[in-house]
Structure 1
């Protein structure tokens, strides 16, 4: 066994066909967790709410009002 440049080199020699199993167990101590200071919570700004608008759509004698942020007339209707 040898360690070089951060690599671990392992060599298994001197066993016969009657005992072909080689078992290796690598263990390492667990790293101690680094405790970071808790950031102080700041009040979050409220996101801007998009303003809804209403349009009137007409198809023959039928009319529909559509309310949305970006209103679009349904198929077959035209904006009045």
Structure 2
């Protein structure tokens, strides 16, 4: 399907999300991270619900699989991520 994101594209979006979280210090859902990435030019594809879902899955995988992930799941707000100090 033409709307699907490649592994490289998802990795670039995860990098952008990590940078946004680090710069802002805020707790954000993936939909907001995609919106900011699009508005700031860090991501040059449309921000669709499927894009936010792909970002969520990739960020969740990093939280579960890497010994020192760049972000963590925010326990106070469902579906939000924050910087992992």
Relative to the length of structure 2, the TM-score reads 0.18
Greater strand percent: which structure? 1
Higher RCO (Cα < 8 Å, 6 or more apart)? 2
Larger Rg computed on CA atoms? 1
